[in-house]
């Protein structure tokens, strides 16, 4: 579904990605783990067109997207849930969800997807007329994921969904990430600092250090890899 080939991405003169390559097949949950500043968010932003790579290629379903604008990438079926949620605080929950449908006009499909996200996160139904900014951190994360799902993406990019949330809420959200993948057949690319949780839901994982991919394997193998255990799992 997605092929990232030797991309190099920059912020001005600062090179954040140095020859990053990875692949995601349809139906997979792939995780990218690594410490602060390793380049995980930049990898997501390069895929979604917000930080286009200077060199290298990104193919989505065989089509080059590394020079495509972010709105067109969304239209192709790639939605990103940004780090820190970035919901619209002065819009209601329902209005936030509607923002996720701005490229669609299939009313029946939109209604189906609305029912689907309300079923996934019943708390959003209760809060539908509440302003986004008044929700708890966990509810905002649920809203951000739901808003992205309202675009009916083929590939969902999740940036640190666990950030700043209580462990019990994180577990709930990760269970739902798994459900979205299994029941809704959405392919997921999950960037996480919580390597333990991420590797438990993912099929495969990539480890990133200083702008480079340094390791790639099945998630179960990474969980038992001594280097990964020492550096990222706190053993």
Give the number of residues in contact with ligand ATP, rule: CB under 6 A.
Answer: 12
Binding of residue 85 to ligand ATP (CB under 6 A)? no
What's the rounded Cα separation, in Å, for the pair 80 and 140?
Answer: 15
- Rule CB under 6 A: choose which of 2, 4, 7, 16 binds ligand ATP: 16
Per CB under 6 A, contacts with ligand ATP among 190-209 are 193
Of 54, 80, 82, 76, nearest to 66 by C-alpha is 54
Counting contacts by CB under 6 A, is residue 92 touching ligand ATP? Answer: no
Is 20 in a helix, a strand, or coil?
strand
Nearer to ligand ATP (CB atom), residue 193 or residue 220: 193
Q: Where are the beta strands (DSSP E) in the chain?
A: 2-11, 14-24, 29-34, 55-60, 63-64, 78-81, 155-159, 187-192, 204-209, 212-218
User: Helices 107-120 and 137-149, interaxial angle, to 10°?
Assistant: 150
11 binds ligand ATP, rule: CB under 6 A:
yes
Measured between alpha carbons, how far is 100 from 114 in angstroms, rounded to an integer? Answer: 10
Q: Could you say which residues in the range 17-46 bind ligand ATP, by CB under 6 A? A: 34, 36-42
Supply the minimum distance, in Å, between the C-beta of residue 162 and ligand ATP. 11
Q: How far apart are CA 115 and CA 122, in angstroms?
A: 10
8/193 with CB nearer ligand ATP: 193
Binding site for ligand ATP (CB under 6 A): 11, 14, 16, 34, 36-42, 193
């Amino acid at each position: 579904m997605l092929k990232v080939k030797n991309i190099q991405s920059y912020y001005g003169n600062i090179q954040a990605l140095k020859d990053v390559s990875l692949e995601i097949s349809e139906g997979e949950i792939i995780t990218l783990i690594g410490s602060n500043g390793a380049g995980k968010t930049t990898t997501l932003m390069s895929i979604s067109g917000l930080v286009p790579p200077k060199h290298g290629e990104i193919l989505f379903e065989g089509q080059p997207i590394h020079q495509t604008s972010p709105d067109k990438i969304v239209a192709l079926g790639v939605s990103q849930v940004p780090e820190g949620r970035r919901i619209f605080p002065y819009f209601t929950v329902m209005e936030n969800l509607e923002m996720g449908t701005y490229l669609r006009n299939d009313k029946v499909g939109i209604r189906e997807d609305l029912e689907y996200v309300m079923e996934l996160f019943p708390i959003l139904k209760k809060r539908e007329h509440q302003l986004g900014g008044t929700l708890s951190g966990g509810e905002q994360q649920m809203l951000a994921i739901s808003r992205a799902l309202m675009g009916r993406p083929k590939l969902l990019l999740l940036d640190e969904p666990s950030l700043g949330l209580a462990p019990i809420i994180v577990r709930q959200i990760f269970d739902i990430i798994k459900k979205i993948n299994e029941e809704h057949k959405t392919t997921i690319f999950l960037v996480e600092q919580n390597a333990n949780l991420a590797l438990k839901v993912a099929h495969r994982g990539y480890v990133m250090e200083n702008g480079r991919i340094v390791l790639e394997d099945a998630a179960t193998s990474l969980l038992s890899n001594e280097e990964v255990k020492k550096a990222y799992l706190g053993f």
